[in-house]
Amino acid sequence: MQVVGNRSARIASLAAASFSVGSAGVAQDHGPDGAQACVFQPNIEHTRILDDRNILFYMRDRVIYQNTLKDQCYSLRARNRFTYGEAPGHRLCVNNLITVIEDPADVTRGAVSRANLCKLGAFVPVDSEVAEDLIAAANAPRKNKNANRPQAVKAAPVEVPPAATQPVAGSAPASTPTATEQPAPP
């Protein structure tokens, strides 16, 4: 794996590499950037969900893999839980499916839970510093996409002025133009 000078560039190049390897459908065990098509399930110590498309796999041998899913996996980050089935040879591989685990409180009694099924991408090795940066970026406050949008006009109730009273003797009646009247040009 090529080491890039600053952290942002490393994260960007790693994300690009994992996307390109993930979308190419790696068939071999090791790609040119060290990406693996499979990991041995019993060697997975724990995982960390970064967002609806990226998961870090922490292995027992202290290797960390970033997996960029083939497509966005809706509610993965919100639920923060997923499962994968037993595979032949206890290997978790590119294109295997993971299932987002629904919160039982969100499933109505007697209803069927509609779980999201999502395809794994390639397992790209990252060092612990990059993993920490990815976690920090995932936890950073998100920029409000509506921040530059004009705010809605706020309406507030107003009190209607009292009806006009009778004109005072000797003065002309007050006239207000209606919607159909146009003021005279100057």
Per-residue pLDDT of 153-181, as tens digits, reads 666 777 888 876 665 565 555 555 555 55
> Measured in whole angstroms, how far is the alpha carbon of residue 35 from the centre of its chain?
24
CA distances from 176 to 34, 159, 165, 173, 179 (A): 81, 20, 14, 10, 10
Element (H, E) at 20: helix 7-24
Per-residue pLDDT of 97-153, as tens digits, reads 999 988 776 656 555 556 789 999 999 999 999 999 999 999 988 766 555 555 566
Q: Using a cut of 0.85, tell me whether the model's pTM lies above it.
A: no
